[in-house]
Structure 1
Amino acid sequence: MLLDPNYLRDHIRTVPDWPQPGVQFRDITPLLQDPESLRVLVQHFVLRYMHQKIDLVAGLDARGFIIGSIVAYELNVGFVPIRKKGKLPFTTIAEEYELEYGSAAVEMHADACKAGDRVLLIDDLIATGGTMMAGKKLLERLGATVVEGAAIVDLPELGGSKLLRDAGLKLFTLVDFAGH
């Protein structure tokens, strides 16, 4: 059941001037809180990927964990968390990246995937693209193929989706918001 994209957009709250003045934060928590909109959201992703060969879903910390784990469950594949640095207990590999407001690093377990695995990389939002690019690099360092990057929201004016596409990553997003 694919609905008008405004259905999902209408369940995303905009919080002005957070975390700093001038930023329009796109908050997906109302979308997740409503059982119908959550189901519609998950169905969009499942319908897109159910006939593709995907071995794992990798979710980016932290909101990518929510959607990614549900999608992995529905696709009957495993889930890989890509976490903020210092949060995983086993041997990890890390990748640094730039944020809108500074720099950070993400990491994953060194045995999270293997060469040849086909992975769907998922997050809630694409802004500058740094987090998703870092996740892509981590997965590829272990020999996986990132089939596609998926997100609920794209903020195209911040250039992240263009950066990712220019790096060869296919993208699928459900809602675009002009501005940031």
Structure 2
Amino acid sequence: MFPTGRRDGRVSIANEALFNLPPPFANITVLKQQFAGVGLSVKDLAVLSGGHTIGIGHCTTISDRLYNFTGKGDTDPAMDPRYAAQLKKKCKPGNSKTVVAMDPGSFKSFDEDYYTVVAKRRGLFQSDAALLDDAETRDYVTTQSRTHGLTFALDFAESMVKLGNIGVLTGEQGEIRKRCAFVN
């Protein structure tokens, strides 16, 4: 259960949220530093990355990974070549309109399939692939893939509570909202 009654800001600025999110092209070192910088563990990194089980990514976000990974017109060698070929059919160079599923086959369902995709080197973003570059995150990916997400739902809930406790407002700051989506 997610705690209620916390103080929220009175203003929401989308760019601020984007600034605080790890970039999709981040390597494992950057990801670990960003998570540690806000008091989250390496396990939280692996768990919260599982949120990529839902949603889409823009082709522009993965264009360099597909067409110019090292600046020499190459594809990221960490990506499964068959998956890269599928993405290249959908994401032509310079295509800014097309989107692709972050978790092909179940991108509308909150499930553990993301970890199976990543374990097969089919993570959409470089930050997904980076989970295989660290022993602890790789072990989590492998375990969730092999056990069909045995602990994923509980782990995700625990990590979301930790995430929700970052930068909590106190005293007279912000407000406790009567309806979450609206300022009082």
TM-score normalised over the length of structure 1: 0.27
**Bigger helix share:** 2
TM-score normalised over the length of structure 2: 0.26
Higher relative contact order (CA 8 A, sep 6+): 2
**Bigger strand share:** 1
Which has the higher Rg, Structure 1 or Structure 2? 2
